[in-house]
Amino acid sequence: MFPLLFRAATGCALVLVTWALPRAADAQAPMSGVEQARQDSIRRPYTKADIGFMSGMIYHHAQAVKMANWAPSHGASPALQIYCGRVAMAQTAEIGLMSDWLRDRNQPVPNPDADDMGGMPGMSGMSGMQSHIMPGMLTPEQMKQLDAARGPEFDRLFLTYMIQHHRGAIQMVDTLLATPAAAQDEIVFKFANDVQADQSTEIDRMQQMLDAMKAGSR
């Protein structure tokens, strides 16, 4: 009788183990390709200069988004409003990317809505980037001037100041890439190169729009 009970108990245990195995496997489902790439990236080396660049560029982008969002309420031309909408959408998405990069590495994530964006150094660790205002960012006086402008004057100032802003972003990229051991992280390297390429193209486009305005006024 006891052997029968033992065999019965053993059989029940095997059934329970067999029933539980698929669920344990489910709990350890393989990561998606995107998540695996993200985890691999986190394990790659990054530097203080990379952190400073990503932190500083959040503030830099946030000011551009704020400027672009003024277009509808400040009487910007339809063409400029379309352009500003694209700038706001693209740079808001990039702020999300930079914030995630910092968060994944347990680094402080700047608040892009901070009022004193221009006063944030944000570039600690990058030689030549210790100035109070990051390259290209508008001063409080310039922001007030743009905010007070309407219609064609807003268009003119926006294009002039955004060209300045974009050139500053490219300068930040150049400084990062010239910093020893920086930009070895795949995400930082790709993002920095995208900023350099995209904003160089946009500078050319904005300069053409500005030249057309000047020609029309004559």
Q: How do residues 117-145 score in pLDDT, each as one tens digit?
A: 444 444 444 444 444 479 999 999 999 99
**pLDDT of the residue at 58:** 97
DSSP helix/strand/coil, 108: coil
Cβ atoms of residues 152 and 159 within 8 Å: no
**pLDDT of the residue at 113:** 78
**pLDDT of the residue at 28:** 58
Interval 32-49 mean pLDDT: 72
**Does the pLDDT value for residue 110 go beyond 70?**
yes
Could you tell me the pLDDT band of residue 116, with boundaries at 50, 70 and 90? very low
Q: pTM here? A: 0.76
Segments in 44-185 forming alpha helices (H): 48-69, 78-104, 140-148, 152-177
At 54-108, the pLDDT tens digits run: 999 999 999 999 999 999 999 999 999 999 999 999 999 999 999 999 999 999 9
**Does the pLDDT value for residue 5 go beyond 80?**
no
- Which string of DSSP letters, residue by residue, matches 14-36? HHHHHHHHHHHHHHTPPPPHHHH
**pLDDT of the residue at 25:** 43
Q: Is the dihedral of CA 157, 160, 164, 169 positive or negative?
A: positive
Taken as a whole, the chain contains a residue count of 218
